[in-house]
Structure 1
Amino acid sequence: MIDDTTWRIAKENFPIGIRVCGAVKEKRPFGFFLDIPEAPGTVAVVDAISYLPHGSPVPPEEWPAPGDSIEAKVVAHAEHNRQIKLRVEPRESSAQE
């Protein structure tokens, strides 16, 4: 678990609602961990039910592989285990149709 100072700084630098980019570090049955370069030592996790690249959850075999870069939104700060909780959602199109 990270120390008090690192956790405080992580919450300040990554407030709820901000989008972050990182690389998948490790896949687990419940989701996967993301390595955020600007937050060394901070644990960031995308739970299985929060990986919604097409608007609904996808099976683990469709999750990104370790090393893949993704963008996610900070949705919570889990105080009990000092993790940044992330969600991946479909990107809004900026093009006018």
Structure 2
Amino acid sequence: MTVDEWAAAKRKFPVGSQVAGTVERVAGFGIFVAVEGLDPFGVVADVAGMHKDAADDAVVIWPEVGESVTGVVVEHMENNGKVKIHLT
């Protein structure tokens, strides 16, 4: 990815903006989400922003691969060219 492509991605998806996408992969540290306009840059959903089960606040509900999700951009990760979101 070029510097110009990364700059354009940050302008299109500024911190605080809403995004929608599809879960591509689930990892122990986060969830990779495909968002139109950010491929191949990538979006990582931070697990700290995951929903809790209403019956047991200690249980985190993870979305499944292929599931549609929405989130809020919380960070542009300059070191790896990814956008971090918290799922909503």
Same fold, TM-score > 0.5, yes or no: yes
Identity percentage over the alignment?
29
Match of 1:16 in 2: 15
Letter in 2 for 1:28: A
How far apart are 1:38 and its partner, in Å?
A: 2.3
1:49-93 Cα deviation digits (max 9, x unpaired): 122367x7743xx3111110011000111111111010023xxxx
How far apart are 1:6 and its partner, in Å?
A: 1.8
Runs (5+) with no aligned partner, structure 1:
90-97
* Contact 1:24 1:70 (C-alpha < 8 Å) held by counterparts: yes
**What is the distance in 2 between the residues matched to 1:32 and 1:14?**
18
Letter in 2 for 1:73: V
Q: Does the C-alpha gap of structure 1 residues 14 and 53 become closer, same or farther in structure 2, counting only changes over 3 Å?
A: farther
**What is the distance in 1 between the residues matched to 2:33 and 2:84?**
10
Match of 1:48 in 2: 47
**What is the distance in 2 between the residues matched to 1:12 and 1:57?**
36
Question: Matched residue pairs, number?
Answer: 86
* Contact 1:53 1:88 (C-alpha < 8 Å) held by counterparts: no
Q: Does the C-alpha gap of structure 1 residues 58 and 77 become closer, same or farther in structure 2, counting only changes over 3 Å?
A: farther
Give matches, 1:51-62, under 5 Å.
51-52=50-51, 58-59=59-60, 62=61
Runs (5+) with no aligned partner, structure 2:
none
Give RMSD over aligned pairs.
2.1
Give me the TM-score of the superposition, normalised by structure 2.
0.84
* Contact 2:9 2:37 (C-alpha < 8 Å) held by counterparts: no
Give me the TM-score of the superposition, normalised by structure 1.
0.77
* Contact 2:43 2:82 (C-alpha < 8 Å) held by counterparts: yes
